[in-house]
Structure 1
Amino acid sequence: MDANQPESIIGGKSFTAVAVNCAAKAGEWIKSKMGSITQLDTKYSMHDLVTEVDKGAERMIRNLIVTHFPTHSFLGEEGVEPGPEASAKALQDKSDAEYLWIVDPVDGTTNYVHGFPFFSVSIALAHRGQVIVGVVYDPSKDELFVAERGKGAYVHGRKMQVANESTLSHSLLATGFPADQHVALPANLKSVQALAPKVRNIRVAGSAALHLAYVAAGRLSGFWEYNLSSWDIAAGSLLVQEAGGRMTDITGESYHLGVRNIVASNNLIHNELIEELQAAART
């Protein structure tokens, strides 16, 4: 192992095993609460929802992680004030952490509230700013997507590989509609309008973490979205990369935890996808 790469086990405790255990336990609890929401609040906009289940799942995950790794830092969506400025500041405040857990307890809360079975638990571990473990769990389908840096990405214990489409015209893409209605949403609607006639189809299913997992699994050829936060993306970014895909920002620059406008793909269509997104942004 490279001297600069962290061991995946500290004190006999595997980072990945802890992440998987946290995701599975939180996911089971989240699924058991489906259909029984008693408190629903909005955060950044009417599209940005939070429930007592989001908050309870995050507490559960945090408590489990702290039990195993009490010196590690933790960044969870529900512990941060709403809005892009607050999420960027929260990440910046943790930038000196050696080990940072980045958690979205329910990615796809709107789906969850409406009983639409496309939501996930997203857990990532970054070591000095680089994601080294990524876990995305879909409780509805009982699908667990797992990646360790340098060791590949897996679902149902099988190694994942990105799709082999080489052109946009043969590609199934996905995106999301941002909560920011003033800048990000109009920008993405222009992208959808530009891309829809040029691809096989576009899906908007409502969980960035699961969309990224689907890129890694070869179910989507690509995914883009504006104004996401680190907890939406971190785990999925490693899944994509370890499955042979590519993650960048909307201009093609390399992905890092601070990137908010992302493009993920099977790599083969990446440049073409970015060119189309850039052309749409100029219109």
Structure 2
Amino acid sequence: MIDQFLAGDLSAVEEAVRKAAAAEIMPRFRQLDDHEIVEKNGPHDLVTTADRLAEQHLAASLTSLLPGSAVVGEEGVHADPSVLDALGGDAPVWIVDPVDGTRQFVHGDPGFSTLVALAHHGELLASWTFAPALDEMAVARRGQGAWLNGEPIRSGSPEPGTVLEVAISHYDFTTDAEKRALSGLHTPGARPRPCGSAGLEYLKVARGELDALAFTWENAWDHAAGLLLVAEAGGASATLTGESFRITGGNALPFAAARDEATVRHILGLLATAG
């Protein structure tokens, strides 16, 4: 079932992502009423009506495209943590973040995205990263490359001797222990900054506009689409112990993604000094 689906034209998935954003996200961009914004776990962890309705829209359309598939979405997991079990099951899984960068969305900043990845037995097979306010759609397919608005993209490598630009977990979302874990990046030769939408930061790495990422959390919906996008653009990623990131969880954190394997190793070495 999944092999036949992947062998076909996946443009219907891109269309489903665009339709969900057009129907549920963009009409509310810079138009949200106060009652449409709710705190989940604190003042920086927000959810909106757009998040919930876009995820429902995507769940319906994506499972219709691939009957028998499951959906693991940020809002669905928040409501029922057992939804995460699908990541380790036998059915193909759509991993969905309806509005990645909700804080940016709430504040009228166009730097947010809709993230969708397709996985099976823990392996990432395809991904879609859509920035609806910027009209940017990045697509990746395992073993077949990465594209932005239909044009191939490559991450390349940082110029030797340049200061590495690194996006890291935002300070507002990190504990003191996580800040200490990232402190190794505050060193000559690296310039860390807090990340925005994780999906768009991964896209910057895939395009060669950002050298690396270092994150302290492992929610699959934040990382699945971007990790495949970076890999198919020629980049690399690894956890603190040098292993591949597992979308099912249990990773050694922090983990890093970068424009090439040498940069990943260097970032992990810096992180290890803070351990």
Identity of aligned residues (%): 30
Q: Is the 8 A contact 2:87 2:121 kept in 1?
A: no
Residue 249, structure 1, aligned to residue 239, structure 2 = yes
Alignment of 1:233 with 2:233, yes or no, is no
Distance 1:278 1:200, change over 3 A: closer
Q: Is the 8 A contact 2:122 2:248 kept in 1?
A: no
Separation in structure 1 between the aligned mates of residue 161 and residue 75 of structure 2, nearest angstrom: 36
Q: Residues 151 and 36 from structure 1, CA distance in 2 versus in 1: closer, same or farther, beyond 3 angstroms?
A: same
Contact 1:165 1:268 in 2 (8 A): no
Residue segments in structure 2 that go unaligned for 5+ positions in a row: none
| Corresponding residue pairs, total | 267
8 Å CA contact 1:131, 1:238 repeated in 2: yes
The answer for the alignment partner of 1:35 in structure 2 is 30
Out of 67, 72, 76, the position equivalent to 1:75 is 72
Listed one character per residue, the Cα deviations across residues 37-94 of structure 1 (whole Å, up to 9, x for unaligned) are 2221111232211000100111111111122223111111111127xxx75x532344
The corresponding residue for 1:21 is 15
Aligned partner of 1:44 in structure 2 is 41
Report the counterpart of residue 124 of structure 1 in structure 2: 117
TM-score in terms of structure 1 length? 0.85
- Secondary structure, counterpart of 1:133 in structure 2: strand
Query: Out of 97, 107, 110, which is 1:104 matched to?
Result: 97
**C-alpha distance in structure 1 between counterparts of 2:177 and 2:156, whole Å:** 27
* 1:222-257 alpha-carbon deviations (Å, 9 max, x no partner): 101111300101111110111111122233211221
Task: Return closer, same or farther for 1:199/1:8 CA change in 2, 3 Å cut-off.
Answer: farther
Letter matched to residue 111 of structure 1: Q
Instruction: Give 5+ residue unaligned stretches, structure 1.
Output: none
> Does the CA-based 8 Å contact 1:245-1:265 persist in structure 2?
yes
SS of equivalent to 1:50:
strand
Q: Which residue of 1 aligns with 2:185?
A: 195
SS of corresponding position for 2:127: strand
Which whole-Å CA distance do the structure 1 matches of 2:96 and 2:233 have between them? 21
Query: Is residue 2:142 matched to residue 1:145?
Result: no
In structure 2, how many angstroms separate the alpha carbons of the residues matched to 1:278 and 1:81?
Answer: 32
Please give the alpha-carbon distance, in whole angstroms, between the structure 1 residues aligned to 2:165 and 2:96.
28
TM-score for both structures, normalised by structure 2:
0.88
Partner of 1:56: 53
Give the alignment of 1:160-239 within 5 angstroms: 160-165=153-158, 169-177=162-170, 184-191=174-181, 193-199=183-189, 201-239=191-229
Question: Matched residues in 1 for 2:188 and 2:19: separation?
Answer: 41
